[in-house]
Amino acid sequence: MKSEILYPGAFPMVRVYLAAGESVKAESGAMVAASPTIDVESKMEGGLLGALSRKLLTGEKFFFQTLRATRGAGEVLLAPTVPGDIVVLDLDGVSEYLVQKDGFLAGAQDVRIDSQMQSLSRGLLGGEGFFILRIGGIGQLILNSFGAIHKVELKPDEEYIVDNSHLVAWTATTTYSIEKAAAGWIASFTSGEGFVCRFRGPGVIYIQSRNPSGFGAWIRQFIPVSE
């Protein structure tokens, strides 16, 4: 599987090239177009229990699309639901990424997707719920964001603070904790930040330039309220 990002920026697509017999798993509804050699299947990644855990615990869709080049080589065009960047990562069978629930767009056939439980405090305070996606395996992993994607590389013991709503993914080599954005509770909430993640390297963090919750709140002010 090879891929190419088209129209990078606010409204990108990704073109995935598949050799005969190859397949790519993608978020349900992500396919824009495909060659006539491609068949679309609906698959529960990790079986019924794995699919149920993602749906009920992370909010991810119950099914993934599996797009397979069954009648010869071909291409697939994929696009995320929200406007924002796409990043392609190469998994080597050793490195793993923790991904927030809306960050996964597609992955090669040997990419493994599991649900990982966070601690009680992280689940309650982190803004992403008790479960996140843990993704490993071999091949390309394609992530999407709301807004632009910014990459932060951390050296051993280097720290970096990220607002929870701006997280896309981070390597499993990092450690992190949830804490108040400011010294006091009132200051944390009146600042508009609430809780943040303090990461410690080594590792890589991918963050998004836009806050989905903040954008939703901005939209709601223009929606008429019936009395």
Question: Where are the chain's structural domains?
Answer: 2-220
What ranges in 99-203 are assigned the alpha helix state H?
Answer: 120-125, 185-190
Query: Which of 188, 183, 186, 192 shows the shortest CA–CA distance to 211?
Result: 192
Q: What is the pLDDT of residue 60?
A: 46
* pTM, 2 dp: 0.81
Query: Which of 116, 86, 67, 75 shows the shortest CA–CA distance to 13?
Result: 86
Give CATH for domain 2-220: 3.60.160.10
- Cis peptide bond upstream of 202, omega within 30: yes
Q: Examine the pLDDT at 224 and tell me if it is beyond 90.
A: no
- 220 contact partners, CB below 8 Å, separation of at least 6: none
Q: What is the pLDDT of residue 63?
A: 62
- Report the phi/psi class of residue 14: left, alpha or beta, with left for phi > 0 and alpha for psi in -120 to 50: beta
d(CA 48, CA 34): 27
- Report the phi/psi class of residue 53: left, alpha or beta, with left for phi > 0 and alpha for psi in -120 to 50: alpha
CA quadruple 192, 102, 83, 225: dihedral sign: negative
Q: What is the pLDDT of residues 65-94, one digit of tens each?
A: 899 999 999 999 999 999 999 999 999 999
Contact 10, 83 (CB under 8 A): yes
- What secondary structure letter does DSSP report for 103? -
Mean predicted confidence (pLDDT) in 117-125: 47
Enter the tokens of residue 24.
Answer: 């790519």
Q: What is the pLDDT of residue 59?
A: 46
User: Can you tell me whether residue 187 is helix, strand or coil?
Assistant: helix
Average pLDDT of every residue of the chain:
82
Q: What is the pLDDT of residue 107?
A: 96
Q: What is the pLDDT of residue 101?
A: 77
Q: What is the pLDDT of residue 103?
A: 92
CB neighbours of residue 42 within 10 Å:
10
- More confident call, 42 vs 85: 85
Pairing of strands 167-171, 97-99: antiparallel
Residue 99 CA to its chain's centroid (Å): 5
Percent of the chain with pLDDT strictly greater than 90: 56
DSSP code string of 74-139: EEEEE--SSSB-EEEEEEESS--EEE-TT-EEEEETTEEEEEEEPPHHHHHHSSS-SEEEEEEEEE
